[in-house]
Structure 1
Amino acid sequence: MSIRPKFGEQILGGRKRYELRRMVAGLIEPGDLIYLYFSRPVSAVVGLFSAGVVYVAPPENLEKIAELLGDVGLGGEDWLYVRGARYAMLIEVRSPSRCARPLKLAELGLRPPPSYIRLSPSAARRLHGLCI
């Protein structure tokens, strides 16, 4: 999952408890491991988290859900990102952790995803082995 470094640090630091995404590459499911690719200037996979509850709905409905959940760590920039989307996902962040070292995608033969991608099982195993 591509993410701006400041938002990725909020996830890894436990301040951002939910991540908001437009629906682009299929559904993220509870239990999925989400690797955080920090965009420029970092340009590396820096950490990961496990997806908890995943809400899928139009953005205006997700905003109401987020209000009911309390302080989820989302702000105005997050909601601007999904404005105009037909559907978006509100993904609970569970067990965030930092990789042992930042991993450049070239090491893995991958390109930066536009938002998020589902890795093949072999690519996921390799990334997990290098990250942990």
Structure 2
Amino acid sequence: MKILLSIKPEFVEKIFNGKKKFEYRKVLFSNREVKTVVVYSTMPVGRIVGEFEIKSIHQDSPNELWSKTKEFAGVDGVFFNDYFNGRNSGFAIEIGQVKRYKNPIDPKLVFEKFTAPQSFFYVKEDEGVTV
């Protein structure tokens, strides 16, 4: 099972060059069978650029998440704290094996009526988001 996440281009680059090993989320998908994240790089890129395996998922208070993940957060503490402001809990998706597509995919060619998700959406196995 795969999900598609919308990620800002600057963070996408850090994921694929190994500087960002955690993707932070305020809420998480309920299906824990998900093993792969398909990466949609938001505008101005607007393409599905690759995928990564989920190594593990950490749930904790923002302070504890930062303490455990800051070395490979790919963001600074100010950005992190702003993102989780007012939250008692958050998630850090630990990034495993990454695969950057040689040819980024226009999502409108794969998904009918594609709109970039605010958070995520599930990708069916037959939806052809593979290289």
TM-score (norm 1): 0.80
Matched, 1:37 2:40: yes
- Match in the other structure for 1:85: 87
| Equivalent residue pairs, number | 123
Could you say which structure has the higher helix fraction?
Answer: 1
Question: Deviation of residue 39 (structure 1)?
Answer: 0.6
TM-score (norm 2): 0.81
Q: Render the CA deviation track for 1:19-65: whole Å, top value 9, x for unaligned.
A: 11111543656x61111111110011111110102101232331232
Alpha-carbon distance in structure 1 between the residues aligned to 2:116 and 2:59: 24
Q: Name structure 1 gaps, 5 residues minimum.
A: none
Pair 119,72 (structure 1): closer, same or farther in 2 beyond 3 Å: same
Question: Bigger shift: 58-67 or 112-121?
Answer: 58-67
User: What is the correspondence of 1:1-132 to structure 2 with a 5 Å cutoff?
Assistant: 1-26=5-30, 32-66=35-69, 71-74=71-74, 75-76=76-77, 77-109=79-111, 110-123=114-127, 126-128=128-130, 132=131
Q: Name structure 2 gaps, 5 residues minimum.
A: none
Question: Deviation of residue 85 (structure 1)?
Answer: 3.2
Percent identity between matched residues is: 23
Could you say which structure has the higher strand fraction?
Answer: 2
